[in-house]
Structure 1
């Protein structure tokens, strides 16, 4: 599948500064490349950055099939089409699962891996409220405020509603539509159920950046991460939840950029 993407060229700070390589960012479920503009611009100081819309999200094509394996295959096709070799892959949530799957099944291909707030295991599809808040017909709605009020009947969390509405598009006719393939995602409820091969292990240089108060990461998960990744740095942002790149952006970027600076320094020594 040919994926939509945004490209942020390498902006070297000094004449002698070298690119660390291509950096690819994979969003989470219900997200898109639009969610990662600030992070992409910050990382473009280290290399060329691509933010990808995964299948059934953003401006990428819709499909009745949606799985971690298929999204990894889409990513491999993207690398081939754009002649990307040995990239650094950053994935959040669903994107983190895709990034880990790609790493497990393509040993030695990635230069480095960054995983945000997700562990290499199965997860339940606990998004009924999100799905229901987007399934009602949009015919007759003439403002985002009215749509938000209807969504609130199913999804009281204002932050999550605003996040979902980043994928709400207004057509030239004035009508609204979801860029997300809501029906398709509703049918893909096993997408996080045993997403990986039976044996998982990685020698890739890896950063896990976690929310200290996240419901997605347990003490057992941290042990699993330590057992799975042999070249691991793991940092936790106190009080942070699943969306630390939004809610704790300052701390998130400080940790992320420091890790990239460390990788860059290692290359130059």
Structure 2
């Protein structure tokens, strides 16, 4: 599948700084490249950045099939099409699962791996309310405020609703539509099951950026990370949850930048 993406060319005010190479960002479930503009601009000080819309998200094509292996195949196609070699790969949540799977299936291909708040294991599809909040007919709604009020019946968290509404697009005739393939994602409820049920080891330099209060990371996950990724560093952002690139952006970028500088001096 040919994916939509946005490019952020390498730009650094210090003329002595050289590009580290290409950096590819993979968003999480219900996200898109649109959620990563600030991080992508920050990373463009280190190399050329590609922010991808994964299948069924953003402006990329929709498909009835939605799985981690298929998204890894999409990534391989993308890298080959643009002749990107030895990239730095950053993945959040679902994108992190894709990034880890891709690295384990393509040993030695990546320059380094950055994983945000996810572990290489199975996760339940616990997004019924999010799906419901995007499944009611949008005809008859005249504003985002009206849609938000209806969505609040299913998702109480304002932050999550605003995150989901980044996928809401207004047509020329004034009507609204979801850019997400909501139905396709809803039918892929086993997308996070048994992805890492194999024995493979990666020696890729890997950074795990974790939310200190995240519900996605258990203490037992740390040893799982070590089992698959032998050359890893774990950095916890205290007080942070699953969306630390939003909620704790300043410290997130600081930790990310420090690691990149230390890794590639």
Does TM, normalized by the shorter one, top 0.5?
A: yes
| SS of structure 2 residue aligned to 1:90 | strand
1:15 aligned residue = 15
For 2:245 and 2:200, the matched residues in 1 are separated by: 27
2:257 aligned residue = 257
For 1:90 and 1:72, the matched residues in 2 are separated by: 13
| Deviation for aligned residue 1:205 | 0.4
Matches for 1:1-269 after TM superposition, within 5 Å: 1-265=1-265
TM-score, structure 2 normalization:
0.99
For 2:106 and 2:189, the matched residues in 1 are separated by: 26
Moved more, 175-184 or 256-265: 256-265
| Deviation for aligned residue 1:230 | 1.3
For 2:163 and 2:178, the matched residues in 1 are separated by: 13
| Structure 1 stretches lacking a partner, 5+ long | none
| SS of structure 2 residue aligned to 1:89 | strand
For 1:195 and 1:130, the matched residues in 2 are separated by: 23
Q: How many residues align?
A: 265
| Deviation for aligned residue 1:197 | 4.8
| Structure 2 stretches lacking a partner, 5+ long | none
For 1:191 and 1:200, the matched residues in 2 are separated by: 20
Residues 76-104 of structure 1 show CA distances to partners (whole Å, capped at 9, x for unaligned) of 00001101000000000000000001000
For 2:157 and 2:15, the matched residues in 1 are separated by: 47
Aligned CA-pair RMSD: 0.8
Residues 161-213 of structure 1 show CA distances to partners (whole Å, capped at 9, x for unaligned) of 00000000001110000000000000000000011351132100000000000
| SS of structure 2 residue aligned to 1:202 | coil
For 1:178 and 1:130, the matched residues in 2 are separated by: 13
TM-score, structure 1 normalization:
0.97
| SS of structure 2 residue aligned to 1:65 | coil
For 2:224 and 2:195, the matched residues in 1 are separated by: 15
